Structure 1
Amino acid sequence: MQYFIRIVALASLVAASTEAVAQQPRRPAPNYQVRGQLTNAPAGTRVLLIDDQTGQAMPIDSARTDAKGRFQLRGTVAGPGVYSLRVAGQRRTTDVALAPGSQLQLRADATQLRGTSDITGTPEAAELARMHQEQFRLMAHIDTLVQRRAVTTDTAALRRIGQEWDATFGAFRAAAQRVAGQASYVAPYVAATFLSGTDAPAEVAFLDSATTRYVRQWPASPHTQQLQRYQSMRQTTAVGRLAPEILLPTPAGAPLALSSLRGKYVLIDFWASWCGPCRQENPALVRTYQQFRGKGFEIYGVSVDSKKEAWLAAMQKDGLPWPQVRDEPSDTSVASTAYNIYKFPSSFLLDPQGRIIAKDLRGEDLTKKLAELMP
């Protein structure tokens, strides 16, 4: 009898265990794969795939390289999107277009991911990789132009540099428009990343039309939603509108209001210590400031640095003499809300009444505009 009871009890336990296992949620089967090979990545180097589409960096997969720099990422994504690939110990990342069913192959230099990533496997992933390579080449050329401008005083030479600068950006933006015009889930990302923040009538019209299409095709894309916010907020900072108030702490900790500078022409300069183009532009901006400061010109520098120490060090190294405040990055920061800024540097030129009269003037263009306003 006792033997029978033990058998029944054991059978009940097995049945209960089986039922518990059956009730446990099953992990979804992997629906993407990224096979990669990196140079300058010793064995054991960690590679991470990060979902930062909503503004919060969430690692969704990771792997380690073997002795030949090879790695493999396999996991699940809910839908098509653009994800970040990061190599541990490296500051720069690159973006990867992934969708359920993607089987990608990646080759890159671990120390220069964005500029060297060659990705194949889907048209979207390959197109996005080419965009990043083009962006990398663009910024390298812009660095060269900045260096040439820093040591040039000849007016004609400066004008040629400015023309080359405009042509370089123009060619890149034309390439970005081509990709943004495609029926691809990468299109909203390209438009939001490379084309937003402009007031050129033709580009504004393109973005308005593209965003309307994205709302129909990719309404859940965070980049579509970003572009919708951009459309709405662009009206707030349109030329002719009163610049939204800014009240942020100076290096000493005391708040400084933008409106306190009324009565002068003011350039609001959004920048950061980590922003290469910002730092390269600073010497020219210092010269412009010194030229027009005595005529009623002021700069209101807004740093978007997360670390105060980095901000202060950059200010000292670059010799920035104008008022500075810090807009610590967050979902409610001035840069991301009131001014809808997603690229740096960005600037707004205000008249003495605080109205926006121009945007993103740099170098010779800024000097020429100020000379017109304050002869």
Structure 2
Amino acid sequence: MSTIRMAALALLGTTALPTFAQQKMPATRRAPAPNFAVSGQLSHAPAGTRVLLATAGRQPVVLDSAATDAAGRFRLRGAVPGPDVYVLQVRGQRPTTGLALAPGSRLQVRADAAQLWRTGEVTGSAEAAALSALNREHARLMAHIEELAQQRGQTADTAVQRRIQRDWDATMAAFGAANLRLARGSSYLAPYAVYTYLSGVGSDVAFVDSATARYARQWPASPYTKKLLQLQDRRRATAIGQPAPPVVLADPQGQRMALSSLRGQYVLLDFWASWCGPCRQENAHLVQLYRQYRAKGFAVYSVSVDSKKADWLKAIEQDGLTWPQVLDEPGERSVAANSYDVMEYPTTFLLDREGRILAKNLSGAALDKKLAELLP
């Protein structure tokens, strides 16, 4: 797994889990009998601080919420259909944390209200304790990565840079080891660990495939087992030699444009975003390649995952991008996530003249070399 991917996922507790407040189970639906209870005590939580528990995902549903008393104590109750990772949040605080919860769980939480992910200690089940320990380990390692990044920007000394890089590599290896311990375990958290932390671009595909086969036997109903099986399907669909899955999205003028409209040329399908620094750097290189090879039969089809159209349009203008640009659809209809399994940016697919996938994630000198071979 790449350093960027691993570091980003390590921040799951502070950035990737959703903020939620409004969506609840419909009042007209008869609520199932409670089958779990979560009690806890938070420091730095004045009386009336709201604590919420919800499902994870793009459209979280609040299972229960409660206000703390003067001592920071709270209690949550509700019903869950099966073992899964849910999300605990203090309203008004951005950091959230994953909570391993199953029917019958009786959990106890102790944490700093402003640092749930970094400080949360959960008891009451082996799974909940293991996940909270992993969260704290991630937080500790991530703090060290942030410290190393700061040091790296403050020195030009080659020897110091080498020392920082060795420390960085060792810390990232520790991330991987912590995730593997959970992935190789015998609890329902194993599929969660593989899907969330170990299945990104550059991952060990053989390990992910073997783990998925085991999970399909042991935990076929796990939502993460199902996601891993879907991931395998998407990877097979985007393997070298396969026809590129169709893409039809809107350009800056709102007109729908199909990837297949560029058939007959060598096409670089490029997933990017205006906020992605490496994407913007690669854009400058693509501008040069496009000028050099366009007349010879090279095309680019860029798919932005920007959430703000204005930011996307501004980046197109600033970077001087003159090839076809389209904007991805958010949520469940996302082409990047659902058809191409794109989990980091930039991600590219080079297509042949018939629309088959020739190569993946070519950039810089590697892309130069490939185009020189194809279009001498």
The TM-score with structure 1 as length reference comes to: 0.72
Mapped to 1, the partners of 2:81 and 2:55 lie a distance apart of: 11
Deviation at 1:172, TM superposition (A): 2.5
Q: Give the aligned residue type for 2:311.
A: A
Partner of 2:64: 61
Determine which of 70, 93, 98 is the counterpart of 1:95. Answer: 98
Partner of 1:43: 47
Mapped to 2, the partners of 1:249 and 1:134 lie a distance apart of: 42
CA RMSD of the aligned region, Å? Answer: 4.0
Report the count of equivalent residues.
334
Measured at CA, do residues 314 and 96 of structure 1 come closer, stay the same or move farther in structure 2, by a change above 3 Å?
Answer: farther
Q: Give the aligned residue type for 2:76.
A: L
Determine which of 24, 33, 36 is the counterpart of 2:38. Answer: 33
Measured at CA, do residues 149 and 298 of structure 1 come closer, stay the same or move farther in structure 2, by a change above 3 Å?
Answer: farther
Partner of 1:269: 271
Superposed, which structure 2 residues align to 1:172-321 within 5 Å? 172-198=175-201, 203-261=204-262, 263-264=265-266, 266-271=268-273, 279-290=276-287, 292-296=289-293, 300-305=301-306, 307=307, 310-313=308-311, 316=314, 319-321=318-320
Deviation at 1:48, TM superposition (A): 1.2
- Which secondary structure state, in structure 2, belongs to the residue aligned with residue 238 of structure 1? coil
Deviation at 1:70, TM superposition (A): 3.4
Partner of 2:88: 85
Q: Give the aligned residue type for 1:129.
A: S
Query: What runs of 5+ residues in structure 1 fail to find an aligned partner?
Result: 1-24
Mapped to 2, the partners of 1:294 and 1:148 lie a distance apart of: 39
- Which secondary structure state, in structure 1, belongs to the residue aligned with residue 187 of structure 2? coil
Measured at CA, do residues 154 and 348 of structure 1 come closer, stay the same or move farther in structure 2, by a change above 3 Å?
Answer: farther
Deviation at 1:192, TM superposition (A): 1.2
Deviation at 1:222, TM superposition (A): 1.0
Deviation at 1:333, TM superposition (A): 3.0
Contact 1:33–1:75 (8 Å) recurs in 2:
no
- Which secondary structure state, in structure 2, belongs to the residue aligned with residue 211 of structure 1? helix
Measured at CA, do residues 240 and 172 of structure 1 come closer, stay the same or move farther in structure 2, by a change above 3 Å?
Answer: farther
Mapped to 1, the partners of 2:251 and 2:48 lie a distance apart of: 44
Partner of 2:17: none
Query: What runs of 5+ residues in structure 2 fail to find an aligned partner?
Result: 1-29
Q: Give the aligned residue type for 1:239.
A: I
Q: What whole-Å deviation, never above 9, does each CA across 1:227-270 have from its counterpart, x for those lacking one? A: 11111221001133232221111232122333445534515215
Deviation at 1:218, TM superposition (A): 1.3
Contact 1:46–1:64 (8 Å) recurs in 2:
yes
- Which secondary structure state, in structure 2, belongs to the residue aligned with residue 243 of structure 1? coil
Which range moved further: 344-353 or 135-144? 135-144
Contact 1:92–1:114 (8 Å) recurs in 2:
yes
Name which one, 1 or 2, has greater alpha-carbon Rg: 1
Work out the percentage of aligned pairs sharing the same amino acid. Answer: 46
Deviation at 1:100, TM superposition (A): 3.0
